Amino acid sequence: MKDEIVQAFRESADLKVRFIRQNAEILSQVVKMIVEAFKAGNKVLLFGNGGSAADAQHIAAEFVNRYQIERPPLPAIALTTDTSILTSIANDYGYIDSFAKQVKALGREGDVAIGISTSGTAANVIKAVKVAREMGLKTVAITGGEGGDLAKLTNISLIVDSPSTPRIQEVHITIGHVLCEMVDWMLFQYPA
């Protein structure tokens, strides 16, 4: 069992290194997009299903509360947290509209919508991104595998090239942490 544990950690670490070698510039573009939105008084909307829902909530919490430094709260909303909204939309319209209707209600031109999906095929995430684009929001995909339709629809796509959902999710939360750290750094440590 020890060998299997070591192998799981090695796979996670290797995938993170491979991802950042291929995506450092793209990740920096996402950081700049979020910084510009916050500077302009806009917000970040995050959404996904399952583990990706948890990642959306985690990233939103880091922006609203704080990440590592004491600073003012930053406007971020996880569209995955209000069970009354989610269940009423799913009941009345279908689960596919669970995030799209929230984007319509809460999104404004200049906001950033971040759709998270390990496969890039989550229908409700894709529909929300389509609505966000129509409304003039900037869109980001955090996905895996080949990116699916989600990656094709967004302004910027961060694709973790792996078939393993757990390993993809481990990179996704690292992406989220780096986004928070770099946004803080740009806004409050060394503002441009």
pLDDT per residue rounded down to tens, the chain (192 residues): 999 999 999 999 999 999 999 999 999 999 999 999 999 999 999 999 999 999 999 999 999 999 999 999 999 999 999 999 999 999 999 999 999 999 999 999 999 999 999 999 999 999 999 999 999 999 999 999 999 999 999 999 999 999 999 999 999 999 999 999 999 999 998 655
Distances (CA, A) of 141 to 45, 52, 112, 113: 12, 11, 11, 9
- Helix-strand-coil split of the chain, %, nearest 5: 60, 15, 25
Q: Structure tokens of 59?
A: 């990233």
Full-prediction pTM beyond 0.85?
Answer: yes
CATH architecture type of domain 2-189: 3-Layer(aba) Sandwich (3.40)
In the chain, domain spans: 2-189
Backbone angles phi, psi at 10, to 5 degrees: -65, -45
Residue 15 CB burial class (10 angstroms; 0-12, 13-18, ≥19): buried
Tell me the one-letter amino acid at 61.
A
pLDDT of residue 191: 53
Classify the phi-psi angles of 110: left when phi > 0, otherwise alpha if psi is within -120 to 50, otherwise beta: left
- How many angstroms separate the CA atoms of 100 and 187, rounded? 30
Distance CA(158)–CA(147), nearest Å, equals 8
Phi, psi for residue 148 in degrees, rounded to 5 = 60, -170
Q: Distance between CA atoms of 50 and 8, rounded to whole angstroms?
A: 21
The C-alpha torsion from 153 through 154 and 155 to 158, rounded to 10°, is -130
CB count in 10 Å sphere of residue 136? 11
According to the model, what pLDDT value does residue 189 have?
82
Q: How far is CA 165 from CA 15, 143, 170, 171, 181, in A?
A: 12, 10, 9, 10, 24
Q: Tell me the C-alpha distance between 175 and 144, whole Å.
A: 12
